[in-house]
Amino acid sequence: MRRLQTPVLLLAGLAIGTAVVGAASATFWQVSTQADFLKGEGEAIAVDADGRLSLGRSVEVAADPESPALWRGIVQGDSLAIGGGSEGKVFRVGPDGRVTLLTDTEQLQVHALAPGPGRDIYVGTSPDGRVLRVDPEGRSTPVFDPEDTEGLRTTYGSPIFASHVPAKDERIVAAVRRAGRS
């Protein structure tokens, strides 16, 4: 019985020693192509224009507004207002990371955010080119809504209308011209 225990103990010790040595050793590899590089998983690394790797910034999710694209952000007080494409919504991210809908512009995209008076913000949208003033409670007021103006190229935010020049004024524009405020 003792004869059997000795070889088994030696084999177990050898297996454990090999695992420990393997776990403590450095591993080197060479990546020759972009395809080789893309097979791996990188976390907190950066690759410069010459292909050199270095430590990168660690990234973590601070807030998730569940929007496919966010293009603009502006700090307002202790919160962040962010807006983007596909839905034309503006979200508020509080200091605790909680995301709430500030306003729905009913446009496809939010392309610009700018500070307004007090804690209001201006929101530039497309495809219609409307500019809204949004108060901290999320109430929006249009401050610019483009109308057809005779002789002034108007694209309506679409390449389809890239060369569109209206032949006559919209009713509101015509009224402004008649009042002598053109």
- pLDDT by 10-residue block (mean), the chain, 182 residues: 58 59 62 76 79 78 75 88 87 90 90 90 86 91 77 74 83 74 51
Q: Does residue 124 belong to any structural domain of this protein?
A: no
User: What pLDDT is stored for residue 103 in this prediction?
Assistant: 93
Q: Is residue 47 part of a domain?
A: no
Please report the pLDDT score of residue 181 as a whole number: 53
Is the residue at 100 inside a domain?
A: no
Domain membership of residue 164 (yes or no) is yes
Residue 174 lies in a domain: yes
Burial class (CB in 10 A: 0-12, 13-18, 19+), 131: middle
> In Å, how far are 1, 66, 75, 131 from 122, measured between CA atoms?
86, 22, 13, 7
Give all strands (DSSP E) within the chain, no chain letters. Answer: 45-47, 53-55, 69-76, 79-85, 89-93, 99-104, 109-115, 121-126, 131-134, 140-144
Task: List the structure tokens of 6.
Answer: 């000795």
The model scores a pTM over 0.75: no
- What is the distance between the terminal CA atoms of the chain, rounded to a whole angstrom? 109
CB 137 within 8 A of CB 153: no
Number of domains in the chain: 1
C-alpha–C-alpha distance, residues 61 and 63, integer Å: 6
C-alpha to C-alpha distance for 138 and 141, rounded to whole angstroms: 10
**77 is a domain residue:** no
What's the domain range around 163? 147-182
112 is a domain residue: no
In a domain, 161, yes or no: yes
